[in-house]
Structures are given as C-alpha cells and as structure tokens.
Amino acid sequence: MKRCMILFSVFLLISMMVLAAGPKTYQVTGPVLDIKGDVITVQKGADKWEIAINKTTKTTGDLKVGSKVTIEYQMTATSIVVKPAATAKPAPPPKK
C-alpha cells in the first residue's frame, strides 16, 4: 500500500510539472539593425527579424544599434480564425 501511494505521488508530481510547462522558448542572435518604439530589428543571416518588446522585457547591458544581442522569445497567438471544413465532393459515377 505504501509503495502504491509513493508511485501515485510521483506520477501526480510529474503530471503537474508537465501541465505547468509553458510554451517553448526560442532565441535569435545577431546585430541590432534598428530600435523603434516597441520593436527591435535583428539581423540573422540574410533575414531581418522584428521582435516586439515591452516594459516587462528584461534587458541587460546597453541596447543600441550595432550591438550584438541574443533575444529569447515565445510565440503567442494574437488571433485564431477557424474556417469550416471543406465538404467532400461526391465520386464521379463509374464509366460503362
């Protein structure tokens, strides 16, 4: 009985940790090309990444154009539009 309670407790703890995990965190590293208001533009290879920042964004060091930065971010949906499923077309009648 004691063994079952321990296994159940471990299972419950692991389940809570999995559910508490938030969205995956990503990062981009490169030089800062531009800072305008609440958007910072970073060069990564040939691509330019525009990432929104706000007053809760933690910044260490002197953030300015030309600085090399590593930005950690999470993808968050701003809107979701659900479209109706397409109806299946009836199969053509077999040729005789």
Domain presence at residue 94 = no
* Residue 10 counted as domain residue: no
Q: Can you tell me the distance from the alpha carbon of 1 to that of 88, in angstroms, rounded to the nearest whole number?
A: 55
For the sheet containing 39-44, what is the strand order?
A: 47-52, 39-44, 25-36, 68-74
Assigned domain for 30 exists: yes
* Triad 30, 70, 65: Cα angle to 5°: 55
Q: State how many domains the chain has.
A: 1
Among the listed residues 37, 33, 15, 17, the one whose alpha carbon sits nearest the alpha carbon of residue 71: 33
Task: Tell whether the model's pLDDT for residue 31 goes beyond 90.
Answer: yes
Give the residue numbers spanning the domain of 39.
Answer: 23-76
Does residue 13 fall inside a structural domain?
no
Percentage of the chain beyond pLDDT 70 is 90
pLDDT given at position 3: 81
Over residues 69-90, the pLDDT tens digits come to 999 999 888 899 999 987 777 7
Could you tell me the pTM of the whole model? Answer: 0.61
* 9 domain residue, yes or no: no
Q: What is the CATH number of the domain that holds 60?
A: 2.40.50
CA distances from 46 to 26, 30, 67 (A): 19, 11, 17
